[in-house]
Amino acid sequence: MEFSLIDRIRERTAQPRDDVRLGIGDDAALLAVPAGQELAVAIDTLVEGVHFPPGTAPADIGWKALAVNLSDLAAMGAVPAWALLALTLPRPDADFIDGLADGFAQLARQHRLALVGGDTTRGPLTLSVAVHGFVPPGQALTRAGARAGDSVLVTGTLGDAAAGLRCLQVPMQMDVRTSMRDALVERLNRPVPRLAAGLALRNRASACIDVSDGLLADLGHICAASGVGAEVDAALLPRSPALLGLFEEAVARDFALTGGDDYELCFSVPAARVAEVQTDLARLGCGATRIGRIVTGEGVRVRGADGRWLEPGHAGWDHFAA
């Protein structure tokens, strides 16, 4: 049964690449890193009930398991190439596997990513995906490098995924706002990794990270790695019409500041290059909004619309918080 499940995954995710010398079917994959490229590697684990609600469609699970990893490559300015998938299932379920593999493959094919191996085992539903990508030497984006005076920007909109989760947890009356609810849930289930934006930020961004645990937490990681502080203007936070249409301002603001799972890019650039970067990212369809600045000091502070400093209840997601 295990090997028949593996065959189903292989059939649905097939993606030929010249740099895959040997893929699924042996004890290890044989892969060729192109000359003049560095290898960027990332891995994330998704657990049912933690990273996606029970009952999530298998295709959405497959998409998201890959998307969150591709977002890490985007934050490094890397081009995706290969992936490994370790899948833990409570029971063998061919229909579930087909749906999961189809969702995974739908995103993988958009980026010519090949699934080259993995593992299957029995236990609580869990997926671990490792991705590999290429970046020219010296051009990888990192969390270190932000400098006082830089501007802080984010792609897309913030807070939608956290709002989508709230919509699933607290059923809403079905009315004309159903399309807004569906848009937020879609953002939770099918995040779009900003790979093209990451490439455009090479040699431009001084620091970059993807927003997986919440803006304040992830911008805080940039500050810690760069030895600086940051100030964010809450009034500048980009928020979608769906978020603002379903939630009050204060709630929408908190989702944007501390909600995880958006997988947008948060990055710093010298102030003189902001307009140039915004123009190029607008052409890519994701846009970029300036939300604050890098300052001397440490940590992240948020200024409210009235000019006073806000005190959010928490910075973002922490797996081991009490």
Residues of the chain with pLDDT under 50: 317-322
Q: Are 229 and 299 in contact (CB under 8 A)?
A: yes
DSSP code, position 127: E
Sign of the Cα pseudo-torsion (78, 80, 83, 87, in order) = positive
SS3 245: helix
Report d(CA 59, CA 70) in Å as an integer: 17
CATH topology classification for 151-310: Phosphoribosyl-aminoimidazole Synthetase; Chain A, domain 2 (3.90.650)
Helix (H) or strand (E) holding 277: helix 274-283
- Residue 321 has a pLDDT of 46
Tell me the pLDDT tens digit for each residue of 232-271. Answer: 999 999 999 999 999 999 999 999 999 989 999 999 999 9
Distance set, CA 277 to CA 197, 230, 264 (Å)? 10, 20, 15
Q: Are 225 and 147 in contact (CB under 8 A)?
A: no
- Residue 11 has a pLDDT of 67
Q: Are 104 and 62 in contact (CB under 8 A)?
A: yes
Strands 30-31 and 20-22, bridge-based pairing: antiparallel
Backbone angles phi, psi at 237, to 5 degrees: -60, 125
Strands 114-122 and 79-89, bridge-based pairing: parallel
Report domain extents, the chain: 2-135, 151-310
SS3 120: strand
- Residue 5 has a pLDDT of 63
- Residue 23 has a pLDDT of 84
Superfamily of domain 2-135: PurM-like, N-terminal domain (3.30.1330.10)
Backbone angles phi, psi at 201, to 5 degrees: -90, -5
**pTM tops 0.85:** yes
